[in-house]
Amino acid sequence: MTKTNKSLQKRLKITRSGKVLIRKGGKIHFRAKQKRSKQLGKKRWEELNIGKKELGQYLPNA
């Protein structure tokens, strides 16, 4: 039985249609001087291109 990779589970979101979304890291550092609209613009989810077989190694119950 394989265990779920908790660090990856916290960063991923799987939609109803099966897409895997991820929040890229390192977007908070050095953001204090930017405009608020630019700060919030970087807060989006991005689609991660990963195969079901590879995803199953890290998240077996997904």
Residue 62 belongs to some domain of the structure: no
Q: Establish if 60 belongs to a structural domain.
A: no
pLDDT digits (tens, 9 = 90+) for 1-52: 788 989 888 888 999 998 999 987 767 777 788 888 888 887 888 999 988 8
Examine residue 1 and state whether it is found in any structural domain, yes or no: no
Residue 34 maps to a domain: yes
Residue 48 located in a structural domain? yes
pTM, 2 dp: 0.67
Beta bridge partners of 21: 13, 47
Q: Could you give the angle at the alpha carbon of 57 between the alpha carbons of 6 and 60, nearest 5°?
A: 70
Per-residue confidence (pLDDT) for residue 42, from 0 to 100:
79
On whether residue 36 sits in a domain, the answer given is: yes
Count the domains in the chain. 1
Structural domain boundaries enclosing 14: 6-55
